[in-house]
Amino acid sequence: MDLGIAGKWALVCAASKGLGRGCAEALAREGVKLVVTARGDDALQAAAAVLRALPGAAEVRAVAGDITTPEGRAAALAACPQVDILVTNAGGPPPGDFRDWDAETWMRALQANMLAPIELIKAVVDDMAARGFGRIVNITSAAVKAPIDILGLSNGARSGLTGFVAGLARQPQLASRNVTINNLLPGAFETDRLRATLQGAAAKAGRGVDEIADARRQGVPARRFGDAAEFGALCAFVCSAHAGYLTGQNLLIDGGAYPGTF
Ligand code: NAD
């Protein structure tokens, strides 16, 4: 299927690795011109080189910086001639016990996983509406639907973003102008973040990391972890010309792990 977005410009945040990278690769294959960001320049330049070499790839610009800061966002936005597609993403907050978290800890999580996406959306959404095309995808987490006890910072900050987006996406001045805003909710995907989480859990339990990973896979009906490429494929479809009637949704992609009917 031709997704109908070749030649559009996309800003994909936190895209040198993992899920953001999966989204950038899928969009690059569709001929979308990209600005990709990440904090570390070496990994980002390496990722950009791979993106440029993909079949169908167009222009790829790499901007190193922290997307949770105003400077990082300004640099990313300045590199993108116009943002037709925005994929918001940043590292997830650390696990822990809420009894240990002070207001500063909460502010960091809110900046990364709620306020940074909202600031980016604010910067681009009205121009999208004026041009009559816009696709915004926020990478959130399955924890929005089924909270994970040790990830209270993530549960809280991402739920705030989700509630905000639910209202914004339904503004007629956006929806009637072919601007969609959706959230993708990953379950367990094989990325550096998941590997670090599994290593932490194994160390805490005094067990091997393979054993912990196997137990986690058994909790997924698909009996495997997700692959960033399949996450990227969903993102690309949601960003496609065909998905203009899909807005304000929370799309879970978790191998069936969430046990509810809805
Ligand atoms: P990852 O660690 O594999 O990759 C994170 C990417 O983000 C890297 O490119 C890193 O350089 C970049 N990054 C991190 N913080 C940044 C910042 N402040 N500014 C710019 N770039 C930054 O992580 P991932 O697994 O791809 O996860 C992406 C998001 O999805 C995270 O918020 C994570 O919590 C969430 N998530 C992941 C999973 C999973 O199983 N992998 C599940 C649920 C939610």
Q: Are 184 and 137 in contact (CB under 8 A)?
A: yes
Give Cβ neighbours of residue 157 (< 8 Å, ≥ 6 apart): 93, 106, 109, 110, 112, 113, 114
Q: From the CA of 130, how far away is ligand 1's center (Å)?
A: 31
Q: Whose CA is nearest to atom 13 of ligand 1?
A: 14
**pLDDT at 197 > cutoff 90:** no
Residues 262, 258: Cα–Cα separation, whole Å: 9
Instruction: Quote the mean pLDDT of the chain.
Output: 97
Q: From the CA of 126, how far away is ligand 1's center (Å)?
A: 27
Q: From the CA of 112, how far away is ligand 1's center (Å)?
A: 11
User: What is the reported pLDDT for 99?
Assistant: 97
Q: Which is the closest atom of ligand 1 to the Cα of 17?
A: 9
**Which of 201, 199, 198, 173 lies closest to 188, judged by CA?**
198
**pLDDT at 222 > cutoff 90:** yes
The whole-number average pLDDT for the span 55-74 is: 98
Q: From the CA of 132, how far away is ligand 1's center (Å)?
A: 30
DSSP state of 239: T
Q: Are 131 and 82 in contact (CB under 8 A)?
A: yes
pTM: 0.98
User: In which band, very low, low, confident or very high, does the pLDDT at 201 lie, cut at 50, 70 and 90?
Assistant: confident
Beta carbon of 16 within 6 Å of any ligand 1 atom: yes
